[in-house]
Amino acid sequence: MAAEDRRDPVLDVQERDGALSLSGELTVWTVSQLPRREWQRIELQGISRLDTAGALYLADRRGEGAQVDGLTEVQGQLLDAVASSIPKPDPAPDAAPLWRRVLETVGQQVMSGLRYFHELAEYLGRFLAALGRSFRHPSEFRLTSLVHHCQETGLRAIPIVTAMSFLIGVVLAFQGASQLRQFGAEVFVVDLIAIAVLRELGILLTAIVVAGRTASALTASIGSMKMREEIDAMRTLGIDVDMVLILPRVLALVITLPILGLVSDVAGLFGGAVMSWIELGISPSMFLTRLAEINVNHVIVGLVKAPVFAVIIGVVGCQAGMKVGKDAESLGAMTSSAVVSAIFAVIIADALFSVFFAQVNI
């Protein structure tokens, strides 16, 4: 048989008073030209090739009461084999009414949302419990791992955080100057930059960058371990997963995020100072004098948020990593959902902080 046969398979179809007579190739390539209706007789006259698709057609017609003639022995076997393995669909479950399905979906969504909070609380608890254990048994604490993760999440993030904050400072100075100049109040641009950067932007933007960088890295690293059953192996070997995986990662974030926030504050102020000097002629010494009059509370308000953001990012990342299943697809899905959730949670937390500080007048 040559390959050319396959490109143009030929099936001859003739219909005569309720009987169908076929010759040529009855295969998946030709079967769709056959009429779908009931026949009393199907005569096969020299079918040179019959495959399962053709056999399925014949088996269906035979099931409707047609008589199939002219099969060779091998073709008959194929027809019987196909007929015996035609799948029987499982009975479909009764479709519930629309209102019920809507209610069900809503209920499931609500429950999965609640479950998510429940799990986040669980991982927060596991982190705190591991932290407590490490105070009681300092020998179990993995210092090397902590240092490694501090380097990964902290030191490596410094260039991007610095560059971002510097540019934010520049933008604030530039925009602030053009607005304030209308009132002849250019010098207040220093207050604008200082309060905006120190109180909100410095730490919030740093947290968002870190959430993007580190939450994804946490999910990917823990998730790939979960995928390869490394975490199960650790459990069977009696290794405390919380102590080994979760504590160093989250603690590294808690240590480095305030430092990154401080770096970000300094870079933002520096950017603002440079732009104020160029655009408004406010000399660096004048900038510093104005800066010294800013209430130190702004800095405290900014930096107090950092450890909280760090815990949020770490817990969200670790929880997502532990939820990864056995396939690579869930790793990708959980990684991107961890980033989105972490950023969203950080912004919500920031809003709550704003309300809180406004209420206590700081």
Partner 1 sequence: MSGENVIEVRGLRTQFGSHVVHDGLDLDLRRGEILGVVGGSGTGKSVLLRTIVGLIRPPVGEIRVFGQDVNRLSGAARRAIERRWGVMFQDGALFSALTVRENVEVPLKAVPGLSDEDRARLAELKVSMAGLPWKANADYPADLSGGMRKRAGLARALALDPEIVFLDEPTAGLDPIGADAFDRLIVQLRDAMNLSVFLVTHDLDTLHVCCDRIAVLAEKKVLTTGTMAQMLKVDHAWVHEYFHGPRARAAMTSGRGEG
Binding stretches for partner 1 (CB under 8 A): 1-3, 6-7, 27-29, 31-33, 51-53, 56, 74, 77-78, 81-82, 85-90, 325-330
Pairing assessment for the beta strands 67-69 and 11-16 based on DSSP bridges = unpaired
- Cβ closest to partner 1, residue 1 vs residue 296: 1
Q: Any idea what DSSP says for residue 11?
A: E
- Cβ closest to partner 1, residue 37 vs residue 137: 37
Rounded Cα–Cα distance for residues 347 and 358 (Å): 17
Q: Answer yes or no: are the C-beta atoms of 319 and 123 closer than 8 Å.
A: yes
- Cβ closest to partner 1, residue 25 vs residue 186: 25
- Cβ closest to partner 1, residue 65 vs residue 89: 89
Alpha helices in 228-327 (DSSP H): 230-236, 241, 247-280, 284-292, 297-322
Helix (H, G, I), strand (E, B) or coil at 91: coil
The distance of closest approach from Cβ of residue 123 to partner 1 in the complex, given in angstroms and rounded to an integer, is 24
The distance of closest approach from Cβ of residue 318 to partner 1 in the complex, given in angstroms and rounded to an integer, is 22
Written as six digits, the tokens of 354 are 């704003």
Q: Answer yes or no: are the C-beta atoms of 149 and 248 closer than 8 Å.
A: yes
- Cβ closest to partner 1, residue 29 vs residue 166: 29
- Cβ closest to partner 1, residue 7 vs residue 16: 7
Pairing assessment for the beta strands 41-50 and 67-69 based on DSSP bridges = parallel
- Cβ closest to partner 1, residue 69 vs residue 329: 329
Q: Answer yes or no: are the C-beta atoms of 342 and 211 closer than 8 Å.
A: yes
- Cβ closest to partner 1, residue 77 vs residue 283: 77
The distance of closest approach from Cβ of residue 272 to partner 1 in the complex, given in angstroms and rounded to an integer, is 48
The distance of closest approach from Cβ of residue 144 to partner 1 in the complex, given in angstroms and rounded to an integer, is 35
The distance of closest approach from Cβ of residue 326 to partner 1 in the complex, given in angstroms and rounded to an integer, is 6
The distance of closest approach from Cβ of residue 13 to partner 1 in the complex, given in angstroms and rounded to an integer, is 14
- Each as own residue / partner, the long-range contacts of residues 57-66 (CB below 8 Å, 24 or more positions apart, any chain) are 57/26, 57/31, 58/26, 59/83, 59/86, 64/38, 64/39, 65/38, 65/40, 66/38, 66/39, 66/40, 66/41, 66/42
Rounded Cα–Cα distance for residues 229 and 235 (Å): 10
The distance of closest approach from Cβ of residue 171 to partner 1 in the complex, given in angstroms and rounded to an integer, is 42
The CA angle 58-59-65, to the nearest 5 degrees, is 90
Q: Answer yes or no: are the C-beta atoms of 207 and 313 closer than 8 Å.
A: yes
- Cβ closest to partner 1, residue 7 vs residue 136: 7
The distance of closest approach from Cβ of residue 341 to partner 1 in the complex, given in angstroms and rounded to an integer, is 22
Rounded Cα–Cα distance for residues 318 and 123 (Å): 8
Rounded Cα–Cα distance for residues 360 and 145 (Å): 39
The distance of closest approach from Cβ of residue 220 to partner 1 in the complex, given in angstroms and rounded to an integer, is 18
- Each as own residue / partner, the long-range contacts of residues 23-26 (CB below 8 Å, 24 or more positions apart, any chain) are 23/47, 24/48, 25/49, 25/50, 26/50, 26/51, 26/54, 26/57, 26/58
